[in-house]
Amino acid sequence: MDYLATNLKFDSNGLIPVITQDYKTNEVLMLAYMNKEAYEKTIETKKVHYWSRSRSKLWLKGETSGHYQYVKSICVDCDNDTLLIKVEQVDAACHTGHYTCFYRDVNADGSVKENAEEVKPVGDKSAIL
Amino acid sequence: MDYLATNLKFDSNGLIPVITQDYKTNEVLMLAYMNKEAYEKTIETKKVHYWSRSRSKLWLKGETSGHYQYVKSICVDCDNDTLLIKVEQVDAACHTGHYTCFYRDVNADGSVKENAEEVKPVGDKSAIL
């Protein structure tokens, strides 16, 4: 039985939040959303697909940038309403070019500062693409 | 200037998703939501507060269970609409008693299986409480 297809809890917009994490370092890369189709495409292709809320369309991560996310493992939380996907990230998860979208620390005074340690060099993607 | 207080993007329900991560291992513990008050209480007390969507009330994590989350660092994502908080987790993040809410793997056939490796022994909390 496909437990998830019948038990995953999508919200009132038909979406479920997805945390994407580097499978080697456990660094959190981004949070985005899937609808049922994006989930099924991810399972089928082993490349992470999301639902783009800003463009209202299915979004194969890396389709235009080449920055694909290859699925290594998927976990579901206790309430069946959040997914955690460990991936092999090509180059950078963030549209700014940073490896992770969480490249800014919040200081005690509420200001934010770029965390240089989070920025990783862009690798050679020729081996993967 | 308190950058976050003025720039954080709360959704139409006044909430922002928060990923909580073990500060030592980078293990993702849970995803929950904050409203502005929960965010401010978290900054003020250094203990993570959420907004309970099921109970519609401010929720100091650990208030009844003792399973507090002590803030070690906070990051904000590129769009200012998700927070990542690294914490020292007392005992267990999940209400099931598991250390993380993501204690189940999704298999290739869509079934789920408890990942025993994610379950950690309950520690001695007397040193912390």
pLDDT tops 50 at residue B17? yes
Give B62's DSSP letter: T
Distance CA B100, CA B65 (A): 15
- From the CA of A17, how many Å to the nearest CA of chain B? 9
- Decide the pairing of beta strands B49-52 and B112-114: unpaired
Residues of A in contact with B75 (CB under 8 A): 102-106, 115
Contact B19 A28 (CB under 8 A): yes
- Determine whether the interchain pair B95/A105 forms a contact, defined as Cβ–Cβ distance below 8 Å: no
**What is the rounded CA–CA span in Å between residue A37 and residue A24?**
27
Query: Looking at the whole model, is its pTM more than 0.95?
Result: no
**8 A C-beta contact, residue B92 and residue A128:** no
**Residues on chain B touching A105 (C-beta within 8 angstroms):** 73-75
Beta strands in A41-117 (DSSP E): 49-52, 57-60, 69-76, 83-89, 104-106, 112-114
- Residue in chain B lying closest to A43 (CA): B108
Candidate from A25, A76, A105 with C-beta closest to B75 = A105
Q: Give all strands (DSSP E) within chain B, no chain letters.
A: 16-22, 28-34, 49-52, 57-60, 69-76, 83-89, 104-106, 112-114
**Residue B119 — pLDDT band, cuts 50, 70, 90?**
very low
Query: Closest approach of chain B CAs to the CA of A114, in angstroms?
Result: 9
Query: A88: which 2 tokens?
Result: 């092999």
Q: Assess B119–A contact: CB distance below 8 Å, yes or no.
A: no
Question: What's the pLDDT tens digit per position in A25-69?
Answer: 999 999 999 999 999 999 999 999 999 999 999 999 999 999 999
Q: Are the beta carbons of A103 and B2 separated by less than 8 Å?
A: no
Q: Report pLDDT for B18.
A: 98
Top-confidence residue, B31 or B7: B31
Is B74–A98 a contact, with Cβ atoms under 8 angstroms apart? no
CA distances from B28 to A62, A117, A120, B85 (A): 24, 19, 21, 10
Best probe of the B interface among A45, A106, A112, by most B CBs < 10 A, is A106
Bridge-based pairing state of the strands A112-114 and A104-106 = antiparallel
Run of H or E including A19: strand A16-22
Contacts of A28 in chain B (CB under 8 A): 19, 21, 26, 28, 84
Quick check: B85 and A58 in contact, CB under 8 A? Answer: no
Of A31-45, A57-71, B46-60, B108-122, the poorest mean pLDDT is in: B108-122
B76 in contact with A, Cβ within 8 Å: yes
Query: Could you count the other beta carbons within 10 Å of the beta carbon of residue B114?
Result: 11
Q: How far apart are CA A34 and CA A10, in angstroms?
A: 9
